[in-house]
Chains A and B, each alone.
Chain A
Amino acid sequence: MNIHSYEKVWLIAAMLLIVGFIATITYGSVALGITMVDDSEETIDPNALEEHERFGDLGVHQTDSDEYDVHVRAYQFNFEPGSSALGTHDPIVIPQGSEVTFYVTSPDVIHSFSLVGTNVNTMVVPGEISTMTAEFDEAREYGVVCNEYCGSGHHGMEGLVKVVPEDEFHLFSVADVDAPESIEAGEETELTATIDNDALQTEAATVTLEIGDEQFDTDVEVDAEASAEATFTVDTSDLDLEDADDLDWTVTVEADSPATLEDGSTSGTIDLETDEDDEEADDEDDEADDEDDDPNDDDESTGDDE
């Protein structure tokens, strides 16, 4: 078999090309430390995700000073957490400069979990858990898409990852608010909020109570992975009650932080025992109700959030 010498030259060049490609990929794997999604996780029963230690507790969890785990359920046709565009779920919020490991699985069909414009991209297969660790050095938002066809609503499956400056990040939530069911107008009353801190370090939380048309702030220090109480004493005679027959309140932790999500605030209503009620007051009250409503909160009737 005779091969023309020019073709031999090309054969050598082609082999160099192939070896060069493999060498580049190996360089990325070894020197840059880029790892592949793999079989390091045990399989999971897709019909019993809530019984799993990770997927029974979705969301962002701190594991070390700058390390976080995010547990995400990708299902037809949302990410939980992540799909926040229509208010279905919270966005994923993580602090700048952190190393984040995503754990993603699916209870139904194959999806993907892909941060648009990045190299964070994985298939999500029912029965398997995809894990990916990446460092987020820039404070910005990333869109998340499902890039594997998953059914007729596939195109609507999107989410959001918000990387926020470290000082705006926290893992507080309002666990409970102890508020009276009813008081007499003009009386002094007390509301006590229980604030959970899921972070691995003690942090100070600013807790805000909005009641009537007034706002009160108080600072409370919460130990790592513990709770603390913030108490507000409100003299209703200071409030402009305008013949209202009830009083709406909202307790929010770190109200200005982008890391404050649905569990970061709780609302309720206190009945006011007044001498007279009239129709006009009712109407005004309804309007006020609409304005004060926290759009993220549909749990208005009681102070107990969880």
Chain B
Amino acid sequence: MSSDAAALKDADSPPDESAIERYIGHDEFDPIGTLALIMVYFLILVLMWLFMYFVEFVGNEPTVVGMV
């Protein structure tokens, strides 16, 4: 952690650096929260898409169809 932490301190100090409790380097960071969050988003997208297409759209007849 230490070398990365030093690099960060060198590179920049965020506006409220005091709030930073620990420095996490590249290899120690697994964005598990991001994965969890984005999978929730994925589920919402799939469900909303199916609802919009098969309920809102297909159920909104009459619909333009090819000339039979």
Contact = CB atoms under 8 A, between A and B. Distances in A.
Interface stretch (B2-10, B17-25, B32-40): B32-40
A118 B58 contact: no
Nearest to B38: A10
A33 B63 CA distance: 10
B64 A24 contact: no
Interface residues of B, number: 23
Interface in A13-50: 13, 17, 20-21, 24, 28, 32-37
B63 A119 contact: yes
Given A17-B46, A24-B53, A34 B30 contact: no
Taking residues whose C-beta sits less than 8 angstroms from the other chain, chain A's interface range is 20 to 34
B63 A99 contact: no
A33 B57 CA distance: 14
Contacts of A119: 57, 60-64
Secondary structure call for the A interface: mixed
B68 interface: yes
B62 A35 contact: no
A117 B60 contact: yes
A133 B64 contact: yes
Given A9-B35, A13-B42, A28-B53, A135 B58 contact: no
Interface of A: 4, 6-7, 9-10, 13, 17, 20-21, 24, 28, 32-37, 99, 101, 115, 117-121, 132-137
Contacts of A33: 65-66
A118 B65 contact: no
B30 A120 contact: no
Contact of B62 (A7, A13, A36, A134): A134
Closest 8 CB pairs of A and B: A119-B63, A134-B62, A35-B66, A6-B35, A132-B64, A33-B65, A133-B67, A33-B66
Nearest to B34: A6
B30 A6 contact: yes
A35 B64 contact: yes
B42 A17 contact: yes
Contact of A6 (B31, B62, B67): B31
A17 B45 contact: yes
A166 to B, nearest CB: 16
15 contacts: A4-B31, A7-B31, A10-B38, A28-B57, A34-B64, A36-B64, A117-B60, A118-B61, A118-B62, A120-B62, A133-B65, A134-B62, A134-B63, A135-B62, A136-B62
A70 to B, nearest CB: 13
Contacts of B34: 6
Contacts of B35: 6, 9-10
